[in-house]
Amino acid sequence: MTFTPTTLDGCFIVEASLFKDERGWFTRTYCEEVFTKNNLNTKWLQMNHSCTTQKGTIRGLHFQYPPFQEIKLVRCISGSVLDIVVDLRKDSPTFLKYFGVELTEQNKKSIYIPKGFAHGFQTLTNNAQLVYMHSNAYIKESEGGLFYSDPLICIQWPLPLTEISERDKNHPLLTNQFKGI
């Protein structure tokens, strides 16, 4: 496995080695020993699997407030998405900056997202499926969200929006009073 740092401190693209033969292929998507050697979280408390049926759909941008912040490891297992993370950490030099990476079933990349980030994605194909590892359990009362087209962040989504949940389209806009989490 290789861990490529992104422009946001603590956030990595994870690329697993692919082994092919006449039967197909095999890859290890997580290894405690390798993550530990790279000083990354190795304790996962929850795993989620989502399927988004329509191309152009946006899910997110979601986060958890302290003390229930979570680290995530996200991988696309079917179709493709543009995965977005936004740095919400107080005093971070990249506060309110975002990073995007295309995750596809073909490239088999994952993104490691540290605590203090919002996460969301836009589907680039129909029937895109993601699996997410979480370091903390989901706590509804601790949930937060960013508006997908907030002008303080200026995310460049690649496709016109086709679908979004009622909750996600009603997240409030950030103000200069927002100091991070």
> Which residues belong to the active site?
62, 132
C-alpha span between 126 and 107 (Å, rounded):
17
**Other beta carbons within 10 Å of 169:** 13
Mention every residue, 6+ apart, whose C-beta is less than 8 A from residue 83. Answer: 74, 76, 100, 101, 102, 103, 111, 119, 120, 121
Q: Name beta bridge partners: 25.
A: 20
Short-list 113, 82, 84, CA closest to 9: 113
